Amino acid sequence: MTPEERIELLQKLDALQAALIAMATQDPGDTQPYPRLRRELLTHPVVGPMIPDFVRRYPDLGQFWPFIKRKFKTYAERREYIWDEFSKAVQFVEGLEPGAPADADVSELLKTFDEAHVYAVWQKAIQRRIADPEGAITAARTLLEAICKRILDERTVDYAEDATLPTLYKLTAKQLNLAPDQHTELVFRQILGGCQAVVEGLGSVRNKLSDAHGRGRKAARPTPRHAELAVNLAGAMATFLVSTWKERHGDSSAA
């Protein structure tokens, strides 16, 4: 997205918020652009999925008024609510999309591990969390698959090309001494068993909620919160695997 396109999108978002706030506070502001702005932003390929649900529900400001009037009694509460609901879209367009605090640390570690593929997949995952939840979940699984295959290749361990993520992880865990049955201490067995469960869960949620398979009309669809959970879990596991791999190779940057 070019700087000019970002500015134009921010202006449209600001104007749409202004029209809603004008109606919510009974201010004689300019509400005429609302139908046009609503249509343009809801159909926008990037910010469309981030537009608040009440904008989708109410194509006319006259319909929005009873909703906001019942929801909050004061003008201040109504303004705060509208601003908060638009915050994700605004922050995303500004290049300040919300994410986990560890994003930068994960990015730095993965970049030193495999910039061409693993790091690139991680970037896709974190960039799609809000605008494309299904794509983000797919990328989260692909990230762990790529890391496992890279480590197995380095160890010259054979694996089937169509091996599932849990299978790849179990092979990788054995190579890194991270399998629960390789430890006797209960606490380590529990922690490593939890890691294995996380990986299996990511494989399952990807099959159920991502864009990797065709689905019927009634199938569940992931929301940004589902995508953030999947991506953040994948980032934590990616960091654990890569850090362990580097430690095994005497890399002091493993942290």
State the pTM of this model.
0.60
Dihedral of alpha carbons 241, 242, 248, 254, sign: negative
Domain ranges across the chain: 3-93, 103-254
Which pLDDT tens digit goes with each residue over 136-185? 899 999 999 999 999 999 999 999 988 999 999 999 999 999 999 999 99
Length of the chain in terms of residues written: 255
In CATH terms, is domain 103-254 a member of 1.20.1450?
A: no
pLDDT for 192 equals: 93
Tell me the backbone φ, ψ of residue 137, rounded to 5 degrees: -65, -40
Residue in the structure block whose two tokens are 């010259």 = 156
Amino acid at 227: A
Q: Are 96 and 229 in contact (CB under 8 A)?
A: no
Q: Are 173 and 197 in contact (CB under 8 A)?
A: no
Give the whole-angstrom CA distance, residue 65 versus residue 75.
Answer: 12
CB neighbour burial string for 210-220, b if at least 16 within 10 angstroms, e if fewer: bbeeeeeeeee
The CA angle 118-164-181, to the nearest 5 degrees, is 95
pLDDT for 210 equals: 47
Q: Where are the alpha helices (DSSP H) in 25-132?
A: 34-42, 53-57, 61-71, 75-93, 103-114, 120-128
What torsion do the CA atoms of 226, 134, 234, 85 make, to the nearest 10 degrees?
-40
pLDDT for 255 equals: 39
Each residue's pLDDT, cut to its tens digit, for the chain (255 residues) gives: 566 777 888 889 989 998 999 999 988 777 788 999 999 999 987 788 889 999 999 999 999 999 999 999 999 999 999 999 998 888 778 764 445 546 778 888 998 898 888 988 998 888 777 667 888 899 999 999 999 999 999 999 999 988 999 999 999 999 999 999 999 999 999 999 999 999 999 888 756 654 444 445 555 677 778 888 899 999 999 999 999 999 987 654 443
Cβ neighbours of residue 104 under 8 Å, at least 6 residues apart? none
